[in-house]
Structure 1
Amino acid sequence: MLEKKLKALKWDSYEEVTHGFKLMLEPLKEKMNGSGHIDLGNSHGAIYDEETSQMETFSRLVWAIGPYLYQNEDVFLKEEIHASFVAGTDPTSKHYFGKLANYDQKFVEMAALATCLLLNKETIWQDFRAQEKENIAHWFLQINERKIPKNNWRFFRILVNVTMKNLEMPYSQEIIDQEFAFIDSCYQGKGWYCDGKESQVDYYIPWAFHYYSLLISKFLEPDEDAERLKKIRERATLFAQDYQYWFDRKGRAVPFGRSLTYRFAQGAFWSALVFADLEALPWPMVKALFSTHMQAWFREAIFTANGILNVGYAYPNLNMAENYNAAGSPYWAFKVFLLLAVDRQHPFWQAEKQLPHLSRQRMASKEMRALIEHSAHSEQVMFYPAGQFIENQSHAPAKYGKFVYSTQFGFSVPKGTYFYAEGAFDNTLALSEDGLYFRAHAQNDAFEIVEDRVVHYWSPMPGVHIKSTIIPLGQAHLRIHDIQTEKVLFVAEGGFSTTLEYSSTFSDHKFAQIDTPLGRSSIRALKGYDDANIVRPEVNTNVLYPRSIFPCLQGKIEPGQHRLISLITGAMTAEQDSKWGMTSEK
């Protein structure tokens, strides 16, 4: 019933966005008890303890509750927020959020709570007693005394101190300035940041770097912070010109990188633009990008039977989850509801939706570390990254190192490492010394991104050096691998994964294809492979389809220099394959 109601929404008016928020909040209201914690019952674990997981669930709902209360009267939610702040920040309370350690997960959760107080200074904040205000400030300001990662977490310090400043409580201007300086050091140009390391350019740029910058900008002093405000708005405007390419005309964003269980947080940047009253793109386009994105998500199986957002992407899937994804973590998606703090008379709400008219179908950016191509009238987006990687996170080669990512076909993460099918090596070249244990493309030693191609220089193991050139061709692309090896290698080239449901397949020694209602996935050897076949990987490896299948080329090469060339298609229609002469002769 919940899914049906959400699916019916167009997400294009204040009333509909509010209704959608209320529908998703309703299953959780009965679990609220004024403690600042929400127990979702028996569930999987995360790297932090159960108490932190329960606090996280509560705080992530506040990303929406805070903006909602800014413009709406709701006695139940206001009392819940008030009681939770009191209980969570009182050191004598059994629900105390606690004395925090270095790198504590609760520093992340401070962001939503601080935003709620910033927005509701005249209502929620003013209702606290003097001692309660001191308790709240003392708990928040622990972030100034502890170590935190050198990445988007630095915004949490800024946000806490800006909040304390606006609430006329103790704060550190020195820390605000220091952390803004760190943020500036992450700037790569043309609107793009990196998330602490140059190899990390993913969704943390829109839903963290720009989102927090735009949010905070509303509470900076125009006179004191004029230069900072100008920089924030100029960079966000530049970023919007590129970020619109990450979405296809159906509203689907490219599945790429970590933290994908945050789902419609992918659209939070559009909300932040409206909140900051920054028309980086015409409001009709921003509205279309936002509303189609929200509609796209509610076509997917993202709720449990009890109406709780599940961990996964297009369906419940712990295999692709991060170690920091607890049961309530997906509610980070509620950052998108910052829109609820925007006045109903804002031009955004009055605008008629209009999808962006892209000036070009292909866009390459060294700052973004990717080339993006729209095809089939923007029904599909192909995303070709280079030079991206993240350390100490699960499935990094799969989430950052595939040669291409698609809004139609997604990508897959491994379920094992011993057999090829366990690795789910779609859209990558995997190599093995024994034919069992395969190593796929992961990190680049160097890379090139130009208007018509992406080039990877990489080494999967000692004694093997590869130059991989990827040339996009609409819904198809060429892969050219120049390999220098000191050892005998088994090689396997994976194409696009697609759903196993209603699939028909064909393969011979140089060509393999799969047809499904989604379109066609095919691969043809042009040089250097021995055989072609169809691979059915482990279940729950593709982020879009629980049961998947992909075409593959395989071969064996001796020590020396080799060139492998293949043509890979992930087409919404069979006509694209015909264009490149890839239709089978069944």
Structure 2
Amino acid sequence: MINNRIKANAFETKEEVNQGFLDLLAPVVPFFEKSNPGHLALGSHGTVYSKERREVEAFLRPLWGLGPYLTEQETPILDTYLEGIKAGTNPENSAYWGKVTNFDQLIVEMASLSTFLLLNKEQTWDTLNEREQQNLYHWLIQANDHTIPRNNWHFFRILVNVAMKKCGMPYAQNIIDQDLAVVDSFYVGKGWYYDGVETQIDYYISFAIHYYSLLYCKFMGEDDPKRVNTMKERAMSFAQSFKYWFDSTGEAIPFGRSLTYRFAQVSFFSALVFADVEALPWGEIKGLISRHMQSWMNHDIFTTDGLLSVGYHYQNLTFAEGYNAPGSPYWSFKTFILLAVPKEHPYWKTEALPLQIETNPLSLPESRNFYQYNEDRTHLQIFPAGQFLHFQNHAAAKYSKFVYSSHFGFSVPKSNYLYYEGAFDNCLALAENECYFRSKDQDVAYDIQDDRIIHHWQPWEDVTIKSTIIPLENCHVRIHEIDSNRTLDIYEGGFSMPLEELASPKITGLEAVYETEKGHSSVLGIIGFEQADVVRTEPNTNLFYPVTMLPHLKSHLKAGHHLLVSVVSGRLVDEVLEQPVISIEEKKIIITQAEKQTIAVLEN
């Protein structure tokens, strides 16, 4: 019932967005009856934080949607939440959420509660008696006295202090100023930030830094006009290129961490409407949001109870981070900030417009990405460089592949012992004696040019590789210059494809092809490869498809200098690949496709 109802929802009118939120919230409601006040037990798998904190997170995250909904609607669940908040912030209650410690997950969850108060002060804060207000105040303000990571977390403290200011309670302006200065130090240019580490530019720029900035703009416009003006200007600039993270079907590019937050990917655009910042025409923003929401509702993202699962296109713990608890996916409700936009706003009256892409391909070093669409914009590929995040599950798979696709997804390894276990799609994977594979992680150096992406990397100290990736029409060329003091087995992986019973791999010489109703994946060895093949990878490694087939090339290299050249393609069913003609003249590799010539100069 829930799936069919939501699938039919266009998410264009305010009534449709309202209904979409209620449909998504409805399966959560029965769990309140089984839980302690202020806690919600939605599952049993573990995280880096305690069971107690997992239940508090599950209770508070739906507020990202409930808060906006309550600005114009009433619901009995508000009473449940108020009772839970009173109990959770009362030190004398057995349901007390507890004292905050350094780097505490509770500080993360303070953001939704603070926004809830900011949106609905009269229905929330003003209904509490003095003691209850003091309890809530003292629980929230703990954030000011503890150490937090140097990243988007600084906005959690900002929201706490802004909420207390608007509730007429003591707050720390110096903390607000210090935290905003830290966030400002992350700014790169053209609207782009990094999230605390220069090698991390992912969805946290959109659904965290810019999202919270736009909340700040809405609530602090009169108090801090200079900062607000800067935030709005940056958001407008960011929107011009962040829309390149979506294809024309509404699918967002799968890249980086926290992908289980799913449709939070489009929440930045909802926040633009909430803050009344027309960074793109309202119709274009509506098109981005509505297509994206429809796309997600047509994926298998629910548990049998109707809850949002931990996973991506399907329930999947293999790729999940250590901080992905059963209630974590409700971070996606941030997109429903749209419900706090009055029905008179022009956004609700405009028609949804198609995706507007002015430049294709687009090289944007500020985002550490190169973007390319197919002809009708139904398939987006991004080619990242210089990205990585330490102390992160599957970091190499999430940040360091040569290319990511909105149509084929990407895979993470279950193990690196054997090649098929690693599911090394769109990677050059290297091993000694066919086991314990390594692929590219953090670049030693990189360059994003107008027509290519260059990586310098070292899988071992005595192995150096220069990988030049040249995007072409419906394919790209990979050029690897390898200097090694080791004997290595080399595997060049293409795009993963879903396993289909009637589909058979096609291997001709040094070309491997796998075709299904989803499209075509092919790899062609030009120089330096000895074998082409297709392997069935470990189940539940790909974010899109539970079981996949992976075309790849293989070579056995002795110590020394080697040149590897291949053509890799992931394309839709009706797209034709014109194989490029590749030749070498002295130190130049000449690539010709459709009478267009590209030249790569070799180092050695």
Deviation at 1:78, TM superposition (A): 2.0
- Structure 1 residues 379-423: Cα deviation after superposition (integer angstroms, max 9, x where no partner): 100010000001101100000011000011000000012111110
Match of 2:273 in 1: 274
Q: Is the 8 A contact 1:478 1:565 kept in 2?
A: yes
- Structure 1 residues 336-382: Cα deviation after superposition (integer angstroms, max 9, x where no partner): 11011110111111010111321122111111001011113101000
Aligned with 2:79: secondary structure?
Answer: helix
Structure-to-structure mapping, 1:385-464, within 5 angstroms? 385-464=384-463
Deviation at 1:474, TM superposition (A): 3.1
Deviates more, 1:354-363 or 1:451-460: 354-363
In 2, Cα distance between equivalents of 1:376 and 1:323 = 39
Match of 2:198 in 1: 198
Q: Is the 8 A contact 2:247 2:355 kept in 1?
A: no
Q: Is the 8 A contact 1:373 1:474 kept in 2?
A: no
Deviation at 1:562, TM superposition (A): 1.1
Aligned residues: 579
Q: Is the 8 A contact 1:190 1:239 kept in 2?
A: yes
Aligned with 1:392: secondary structure?
Answer: coil
Is residue 51 from structure 1 mapped to residue 52 from structure 2 by the alignment? yes
In 2, Cα distance between equivalents of 1:447 and 1:280 = 31
Q: Is the 8 A contact 2:216 2:228 kept in 1?
A: no
Deviation at 1:469, TM superposition (A): 0.5
- Structure 1 residues 78-134: Cα deviation after superposition (integer angstroms, max 9, x where no partner): 212211211111000111111011111011100000000001112211101111111
Q: Is the 8 A contact 1:63 1:112 kept in 2?
A: yes
In 1, Cα distance between equivalents of 2:155 and 2:538 = 39
Aligned with 1:576: secondary structure?
Answer: coil
Structure-to-structure mapping, 1:5-84, within 5 angstroms? 5-33=5-33, 35-41=37-43, 43-74=44-75, 76-84=76-84
Q: Is the 8 A contact 2:485 2:559 kept in 1?
A: yes
Deviates more, 1:497-506 or 1:509-518: 497-506
Match of 1:309 in 2: 308
In 1, Cα distance between equivalents of 2:339 and 2:51 = 30
TM-score w.r.t. length of structure 2: 0.94
Residue type matched to 2:395 in 1?
A
Match of 2:327 in 1: 328
Structure-to-structure mapping, 1:70-469, within 5 angstroms? 70-74=71-75, 76-222=76-222, 224-469=223-468
Match of 2:593 in 1: none
Deviation at 1:579, TM superposition (A): 5.5
TM-score w.r.t. length of structure 1: 0.97
Deviates more, 1:177-186 or 1:504-513: 504-513
Residue type matched to 1:435 in 2?
E
- Structure 1 residues 247-305: Cα deviation after superposition (integer angstroms, max 9, x where no partner): 01110000000110000000100110000000000000000000000000011110011
In 2, Cα distance between equivalents of 1:426 and 1:309 = 27
Deviation at 1:228, TM superposition (A): 0.3
In 1, Cα distance between equivalents of 2:132 and 2:346 = 39
Q: Is the 8 A contact 1:65 1:77 kept in 2?
A: no
Q: Is the 8 A contact 1:416 1:422 kept in 2?
A: yes
Deviation at 1:540, TM superposition (A): 0.4
Aligned with 1:162: secondary structure?
Answer: helix
Match of 1:521 in 2: 521
Deviation at 1:578, TM superposition (A): 4.2
CA RMSD of aligned residues (A): 1.2
- Structure 1 residues 558-585: Cα deviation after superposition (integer angstroms, max 9, x where no partner): 2221111000000113542245589xxx
Match of 1:539 in 2: 539
In 1, Cα distance between equivalents of 2:529 and 2:321 = 35
In 1, Cα distance between equivalents of 2:354 and 2:579 = 28
In 2, Cα distance between equivalents of 1:424 and 1:187 = 35
Deviates more, 1:500-509 or 1:352-361: 500-509
Deviation at 1:503, TM superposition (A): 2.6
Deviates more, 1:120-129 or 1:24-33: 24-33
Q: Runs of 4 or more off by more than 6 Å in structure 1?
A: none
Aligned with 1:336: secondary structure?
Answer: helix
Q: Is the 8 A contact 1:45 1:326 kept in 2?
A: yes
Aligned with 2:40: secondary structure?
Answer: coil
Unaligned runs of 5+ in 1: none
Q: Is the 8 A contact 2:457 2:464 kept in 1?
A: yes
Residue type matched to 1:489 in 2?
L
